[in-house]
Amino acid sequence: MQLPMRLSANGAGPAKERAQSSNPKAGRLPLRVSLKSWRQCCWLLIFGAAALLAVRLVSSAAVANVGNVLLLKALVSDPSSLARSSASDHELARLQAARQALAWAASVNPERASTYVMLERLEILADRPEEARAYLERAYQTAPDDLMVALTLGQLHQSQGDMKAAIRVWQSAPSIAKLHVARGQRALKARDWTKAYEDFQLAVAIDPHKAAAYRGLGNSLRGLRRLDEAAQAYRRARALGEPDPYVVVELAHVLSMAGRHEEAVAELDAAGTGGALADAIRGSYYRKIGRLDQATRYLERAVQQEPDNPWNRHALAIVYAQQGQGSQAITQLEAALEANPSFQPAKDLLACVSKAADSSECVGR
């Protein structure tokens, strides 16, 4: 018995099935669908690569932080023991783990300067100065304007006696000049003239156009009694545009201390500068050239402005004594000793004026 003819799934008969099977392109996706799939695959690959890179960078920072933590733990335990043969196995293992973590982080992210700085600290602890210097120079190459990197590398050159290299490194970070100015100012307040001079000298070497550094240098040189050099530093500060007009008074002061009284007064008059110290400088100059009326006027004005300054009262007492006004001289000397009981120049002059019939005999003409 003949079986009935079976229809295909789409209702076509055997002829149509044979036609489809003989067509090699039958059942394939359109070309535009294929291209779309390829684009999607490409984008997936790109995003995947970016994600892997991000994870790698983040993991490098994390590993660097792990290395930092291991190093800090080692330092807290006993910093000095890590550089000695007496360091325990545990401490050395911790140090080695920190080195490995930081070295891996540096290989993954070679632009991270802080990683090289920590590696430099590790090599210092391990007493390997050449390796430490190499890491520090690598950190400087990565971030030449980093304050601490430049400062540390410059100090390394300085310790090795290469000041030119130190200055060259420090000049790449302008903040270092400001740092030395701040240190110099602290040394001035402590009256450590030598330390202040060293810091201000470095500041002007790093930044030769910094007016504040030259002014501070002048103050330190005045404390060291290198008066001619101090005058040059003050003049340089003024030429560079030091905004504080008092720098003229400081210049006049060192000129007066050096015995260059006429030059000091000329500087003050040219700038039109006043104030207690400026008037005291003028008064002392006029006293020395015998113009006692002008000297009295300026010194009385200085005393009015700074009544507790024993030097100004002592200078005014000298002028009164030269003019034979012993009682007024005694008044000024007693006021000077009230402000400063240990002020010896006032004690000596008071002892003389109190006994002398002519007070002018107690002072030089």
Q: Rounded to whole angstroms, how far apart are CA atoms 221 and 147?
A: 28
- pLDDT higher than threshold 60 for residue 352: yes
What is the token pair recorded at 229?
């050099």
Distance CA 181, CA 175 (A): 10
Note the pLDDT of residue 174. Answer: 75
Residue 356 belongs to some domain of the structure = no
pLDDT at 148: 75
Please check the confidence at residue 45 and state whether its pLDDT lies above 80: no
Q: Mean of the pLDDT values across residues 352-356?
A: 89
The total number of structural domains that make up the chain: 1
- The residue that leads in pLDDT, 222 or 273, is 222
Q: Of 350, 304, 315, 344, which Cα lies nearest the Cα of 331?
A: 350
Cβ–Cβ under 8 Å, residues 263 and 234: no
pLDDT of residue 133: 78
Q: What confidence tens digit (pLDDT) does each residue in 83-115 have?
A: 444 445 655 666 667 666 767 666 666 667 777
Residue 68 lies in a domain: yes
- Cβ neighbors of 56 (< 8 A, separation 6 or more) are 108
- What CATH number corresponds to the domain at position 110? 1.25.40
Q: What percent of the chain has pLDDT over 70?
A: 69
Confidence bin at 52 (pLDDT 50/70/90)? low
pLDDT at 33 over 50: no
Residue 15: inside a domain, yes or no? no
Sign of the torsion formed by the C-alpha atoms of 276, 279, 284 and 287? negative
pLDDT tens readout for residues 321-340: 999 999 999 999 999 999 99
Q: Which residue has the higher pLDDT, 309 or 28?
A: 309
Q: Model confidence at 60, in pLDDT bands (50, 70, 90)?
A: very low
Report the candidate in 62, 177, 172 with the shortest Cα–Cα distance to residue 108: 62
Q: What is the pLDDT of residue 245?
A: 84
CA distances 348 to 230, 314, 331, 351, 360, Å, are: 31, 11, 14, 5, 14
Residue 199 covered by a domain: no
Which of the two residues, 112 and 311, has the higher pLDDT score? 311
Q: How far apart are CA 47 and CA 196, in angstroms?
A: 58
Q: Does 24 map to a domain? A: no
**What pTM, to 2 d.p., does this model score?**
0.62
More confident residue, 110 or 289: 289
Among residues 206, 258, 205, 189, the alpha carbon closest in space to that of 229 is found at: 258
Q: Examine the pLDDT at 241 and tell me if it is beyond 90.
A: no
Helix, strand, coil distribution of the chain in percent, nearest 5: 75, 0, 25
- Give a yes or no: residue 282 inside a domain: no
| Domain of 122, in residue numbers | 58-142
The answer to whether residue 344 is domain-embedded is: no
Residue 73 lies in a domain: yes
| pLDDT greater at residue 162 or residue 327 | 327
CA distance 235 to 273: 15
Q: Please, which pLDDT band fits residue 243 given cuts at 50, 70 and 90?
A: confident
